[in-house]
Structure 1
Amino acid sequence: MTISYTDEKHQKDPSVTEYEDEIQLGTVLSESGQEFEIHGNLKEMDQALELAMNNDDFIFTEEEDTKLLRKIDLVLMPFVSFLYSLFYIDKASNGWAAVMGIRKDMNMKGIMYSWTGSAFYLGYLVYQPLASLSLQKFPLVTCFSVYMFSWAVIICLQATNHSYPAFTFLRTLLGCSEASASVFTTLLTSQYYRKKEAFLRVSFWLATSGFGVFFGNMMAYGIAIRSESFSIAAWKVLFIVIGLISFVVAVILHFHVPNTPATAWFLNEREKRIVVERIRENYQGFGTKVWKKHQFFEAVLDIKTWVFFIYAVAFNIPNSALASFGSILLSTDFGYSSTDALLYGAPQGVVEFLCLPAIAYAIQKFNLPRLLSTAVVITICITFACMLAFGKNSGTKLAGYYLLYLMQIGPIGSFSYFASNVPGYTKKITVTSVYLVGYCVGSLVGPQTFATKDAPHYTPAKIAIVVCICVAAGCFYTLWLICYMENKARDKKAIDLGDKYCAPKNIEFSDLTSTENIYFRYTL
């Protein structure tokens, strides 16, 4: 896409190729109120634009809209939600294996086990930018199904040896393979749903990590109590079962989920056109395969990007620590046996799986500010973190441990923001990638807060959890305030411009960022 600005601040991106057969969209206003012409080849613009150009005077009924939304939900949401729960099971399997004998079998001492958790996030951190870029350059679902197939193989390979270095290396490769998961589900959600619908749908697939907690703990418990029935170690059986499930899901994903709504097998031609009209208000379509340098730099220079980065670091220190040491904490601090620790870890998944969608539904139904509501819920979770850290008896600590997982409302607020509030495909991928880099940094640090010398109660690690939850809540209050003020400024600019404030046709699918497009408003 070629952008010709009339002000000196902006210049055409030299990395974008010009074509002779360009189409003209018209004059657009940037956030600063400056005018610029936008034109380009269909190959460089959003993939939804070609459908949108044939939608002149296209009208659909509210009944059709409701029916189509229900169809999309039924076809995509159950599968994508299970896929995301499997993503959690895959990375958390290390924690269940810890109480099933892997530490003893591999002779792990000191911080050796902590590094098996950190190794996953190290691989995730290193490969994440390339994973995001590959999802943009190649067909979305086809590319991700390859990644998923690779991590299924790696999980199975974890059961093939007793070598600590080899196991840690495989955990690093697993992090590389799974670095694409959150980006994939975010991009897929943005293709089909309006901004006002994204928060609830993101809550569906993110909350199923709670189902993953429940299902994974119960599966590990079932294998552990029958360990004498197997000819190999129970933790090896666990890895093989999880790997085979991931392999089957990867095959189904490849054939079941389309790369874009334009190629969706479950939509007829009219429904595909309705999808395009539904997502006009997002000011983003299906995505473009062209990486745009100016959008990358805009994302890097946006203060909101770095607030999300700080949040991701703060949130994932306790998140990863509990994922790796939750079962150990239940055993050493709470006093449960190794097998009972697996059983007692399951209810926290139920809390997450049931409560988070309920909270998201209430926020959508009553039209509450999503960023602000997310901040409030995280603030409440500070109380639960204090119950876990400073409780005097196992009952209080266990209740805090379960309820603390309501803090997962934070990733729901984050990924729904990326899906609906970050127009510009390259910018969306960049902002999401920076967030995930913060996710990796926090996840690398998290397991290290549980030092062996602090066993069995790990009090310093618990205090770190309380502090990090406080920082996470502060980040969301900051994000809400920034977006609120920017919307107010845009509304004032619209009034000042008067008749000049008129969006050209199909501007929604021109792949403009929020800075380039004054007509965009943040969903608070």
Structure 2
Amino acid sequence: MPDSTDTSVGKPSEHHFEHAHHDEKRPDTELALASPPLFAGVDEAAVLRKMDIRLIPMLSLLYLLAFLDRGNIGNAKIEGLVDDLHMTGPQYNWTLTVFFFTYCVFELPSNLLLKKLRPSRWLPLIMVAWGIVMTLMGIVQSYGGLLATRLCLGIAEAGLYPGVAYYITLWYPRHRAQFRQALFFSAASIAGAFSGLLAYGIAKMDGVGGYAGWRWIFILEGILTVLVAFIAPFAIHDSPETATFLTEQERRFVIHSLRIQNSADSREMVQDEAKFQIKYVIDAFTDWQIWLGLFMYWGITCPLYGISFFLPSIIKDLGYKSSTAQLLTVPIYITAAIVAVVAAWFSDRRKQRSPFILFFMSLIAIGFIICLAASGRGVPGVVYFGVFIAVIGIYPAFPGNVTWISVNLAGDYKRAAGMAIYIGMGNLAGAMASNFYRAKDAPQYVLGHSLELGFVIVGMIATVLLRFSYQRINRKRDQLDPSQYPDDPDSMGDRSPLFRYML
């Protein structure tokens, strides 16, 4: 392990994924002023623009396709999937549920492999895998076949979201991260809109080649994923150290700004984990913030997946035709994407996470309260409005909560493992939400809306507790003298007396 007192930025670290976090109290300009002789000519805004242009579009496209392929079963359902495969309502819900079993199990090993392998190779590889699985889903002939392909889809897609959430922290300081997470995650919202439009068009192919319209939804979207995967290696850059689109001085500036993020006294903290050790994974598993944050995550992802899988059905059951229901999902998702990006910009600017998360979680709660109050009263427009409000809360809250936890984990392997555990366990919400909206509860779906509301309220309580806990620890560390600490504070990650949690 390299000497942690080496603060040189004259040459990049051999292990190019080793970065830390930035104290929100330090003004932005201090990053550029930290070492005037080296970085006096660097324009931080220009460097960020370069990274945004080269990194975010491809990451967003990857996640758009992943979320499209994961959620298009909801569109296929109202185009005849359940009837053609002679499935019952509970069997359909079970095909949604099993995806998350393999998805959760394989997120941790995938993130550790991403840490060891090149992102420009690993991410396109898993993309090819899930594209093939998606294409094969279009030719299944039975409930068992659909169940098997959903299990395989969970394995293939497991590494994408936690991998990209971690990957972004390797490029951007933590007070810049949520805007980029939101740009990336807004692809999920766009996928929701795109899915409805695409399904509406593809369903017109019903009967082509002897295949039903819902089969073509799976086949064509799977083929599209594979094609994009072959382009992806040329558009994904592995690390700032090897980024050819940055000048040598800009690369050093990015590396330096990432290394000084944690320090409360402007010292550079180099947490260079040269080799994998199981203790990094154990540290992540035993970190209290991951387990408390998990309730916050569930409070957002239960509604996210409930809406993702059942929104077309919910709208159709309000009395609309299938084609109309597909199209009515579009304005909801487009609006949510715009709000998510704007909210993330303000959150980064204020260097605060929890107030924004709480605000948007309250919108989720209000949305489901409206749905419950209006269901069964002959006012489908009001129910639609309630769902609209809930989705506008979901999509800004999600990148906020993921960013908040990720920037408060320090130590590279610990952050990689921690994000995989957090997102993996958090996505068990998808397994739960898959069973919230039962066919026999249509069209009111009182049970589903009530469960979503309950999870949101618990999540809001967890968010408040997490903020107060961070504040208490930060105050205690303000009273400590790092020079008197028995261990090397620079090597302790987020448990260092120099580290300050972002609120």
Alignment TM-score, normalising by the size of structure 1: 0.84
**Counterpart of 1:111 in 2: which secondary structure?**
helix
Q: Which amino acid aligns with 1:319?
A: L
Aligned partner of 2:25 in structure 1 is none
Q: Aligned equivalents of 1:285 and 1:154: distance in 2?
A: 41
User: RMSD value over aligned CA atoms?
Assistant: 2.7
Equivalent of residue 356 in structure 1, options 340, 352, 359: 340
Q: Which moved more, 1:426-435 or 1:228-237?
A: 228-237
Deviation at 1:238, TM superposition (A): 1.2
The structure-2 alpha-carbon separation of the partners of 1:464 and 1:158, relative to structure 1 and needing over 3 Å to count, comes to: same
Work out whether 1:245 is the aligned partner of 2:224.
Answer: yes
Equivalent of 2:423 in 411, 419, 436:
436
1:514 aligns with 2:494: yes
- SS of residue matched to 1:449: coil
Closer/same/farther in 2, CA of residues 191 and 286 from structure 1, 3 Å limit: farther
Aligned to 2:233: 254
2:244 and 2:227 map into 1 onto residues whose CA distance is: 20
- 2:76 equivalent to 1:91: no
| Residue number in structure 2 paired with 1:373 | 356
Q: 2:402 aligns with which of 415, 419, 428?
A: 415
Quick check: 352-361 or 485-494, which moved more? 485-494
What letter matches 1:297 in structure 2?
I
Equivalents in 2 of 1:280, 1:48: separation in Å?
Answer: 5
Residue in structure 1 matching 2:136, options 138, 157, 161? 157
Q: Secondary structure at the match of 1:442?
A: helix
Paired residues, number: 474
What residue in structure 2 maps to residue 68 of structure 1? 47
> Is the Cα–Cα contact under 8 Å of residues 137 and 290 in structure 1 kept in the other structure?
no
Supply the AA of the counterpart residue of 2:305.
S
Name the residue aligned to 1:328: 313
Other-structure match for 1:384: 367
Instruction: Quote the Cα distance in structure 1 between the aligned partners of 2:327 and 2:250.
Output: 46
| Residues 159 and 45 of structure 1: CA distance in aligned 2, closer, same or farther (over 3 Å) | closer
Which is further off, 475-484 or 285-294? Answer: 285-294
Cα distance, 1:94 vs structure 2:
0.8
Change (3 A) 1:348 1:160: same
Query: CA contact under 8 A between 1:307 and 1:479: conserved in structure 2?
Result: yes
Structure-2 change in CA distance of 1:254 and 1:47 (3 Å): same
Instruction: Give the structure 2 partner of residue 402 of structure 1.
Output: 388
Counterpart residue number, 2:27: none
Secondary structure, counterpart of 1:257 in structure 2: coil
Residue range with higher mean Cα deviation, 426-435 or 279-288: 279-288
Deviation at 1:445? 1.2
Q: Deviations over 1:352-373 (max 9, x none)?
A: 11111111222233x1621222
8 Å Cα contact 1:376-1:473 kept in structure 2 = no
Q: Distance in 2 between matches of 1:289 and 1:105?
A: 54
Which structure 1 segments of 5+ residues have no match?
A: 2-22, 29-41, 50-54
The one-letter code sitting in structure 1 at the alignment partner of 2:432 is: V
| Pairwise CA distance, 1:344 | 0.9
Alpha-carbon distance change, 44 to 274 in structure 1, aligned in 2, over 3 angstroms: closer
What displacement does 1:92 show? 0.4
Structure 2 residue corresponding to 1:296, chosen from 281, 284, 305: 281
Question: Could you say what secondary structure the match of 2:156 adopts?
Answer: helix
The alpha-carbon deviation at position 286 of structure 1 amounts to 10
Once the two structures are superposed, what CA deviation does each residue of 1:108-147 show, in whole Å capped at 9, x if it has no partner? 1131110111121122123222222222232233112211
Inter-partner Cα distance in structure 2 for 1:437 and 1:348: 27
Deviation at 1:350, TM superposition (A): 0.8
Residues 1:309 and 2:288 are matched in the alignment: no
Structure 2 spans left out of the alignment, 5+ residues: 8-12, 21-33, 263-268
Matched, 1:232 2:215: no
Q: Is the 8 A contact 1:200 1:357 kept in 2?
A: yes
What's 1:179 paired with? Answer: 158
The 8 Å contact of residues 15 and 272 in structure 2, kept in 1 or not, is answered as no
Q: CA deviation at 1:44?
A: 7.2
Helix, strand or coil at the partner of 1:493: coil
* Structure 1 SS opposite 2:4: strand
Structure 1 residue 205 corresponds to structure 2 residue 184: yes
Q: Is the 8 A contact 1:159 1:236 kept in 2?
A: yes
- Specify whether residues 176 and 59 from structure 1 end up closer, same or farther in structure 2 by C-alpha distance, changes over 3 A only: same
Q: Is contact 1:96–1:220 with CA below 8 Å preserved after alignment?
A: yes
Select the residue among 325, 337, 357 that pairs with 2:321.
337
Judging changes above 3 Å, is the alpha-carbon distance between structure 1 residues 340 and 448 closer, same or farther for their aligned structure 2 residues? same
- Once the two structures are TM-superposed, the CA of residue 26 in structure 1 deviates from its matched residue by 4.1
Cα separation, 1, equivalents of 2:244 and 2:405: 26
Secondary structure class of the residue paired with 1:282: coil
Contact 1:191-1:286 at 8 Å conserved across structures: no
Aligned twin of 2:502: 523
Question: 1:81, 1:204 within 8 Å by CA — same for their partners in 2?
Answer: yes
Residue 401 of structure 1 aligns to which amino acid in structure 2? V
Change (3 A) 1:27 1:70: closer
Provide the identity percentage: 22
| TM-score, with structure 2 as normaliser | 0.87
| Cα distance in 1 for residues equivalent to 2:14 and 2:6 | 20
**Which residue, out of 443, 450, 457, partners 2:437?**
450
**Equivalent residue of 1:192, what SS?**
coil
After superposition, the Cα gap between the structure-2 partners of 1:91 and 1:471, relative to the gap in structure 1 and judged at 3 Å, is same
Partner of 1:277: 256
- Partner amino acid, structure 2, of 1:170: T
Tell me the equivalent position of 1:144.
Answer: 123
Alpha-carbon separation, structure 2, partners of 1:147 and 1:286? 29
Q: Residue 169 of structure 1: which of 126, 130, 148 is its match?
A: 148
- Report the more deviating stretch, 286-295 or 218-227: 286-295
Deviation at 1:57, TM superposition (A): 7.2
1:129 is the counterpart of 2:108: yes
Moved more, 306-315 or 90-99: 306-315
- State how far apart, in whole Å, the 2-side matches of 1:214 and 1:287 are: 42
Shift, 1:182, TM fit: 1.3
Deviation at 1:215, TM superposition (A): 1.0
Q: Determine the C-alpha separation between the residues in 2 that align with 1:212 and 1:336.
A: 22
Secondary structure, counterpart of 1:25 in structure 2: coil
| Contact map agreement 2:353 2:401 (CA 8 A) in 1 | no
Distance 2:385 2:185 in 1: 22
Q: How far, CA to CA, are the matches of 1:137 and 1:388 in structure 2?
A: 46
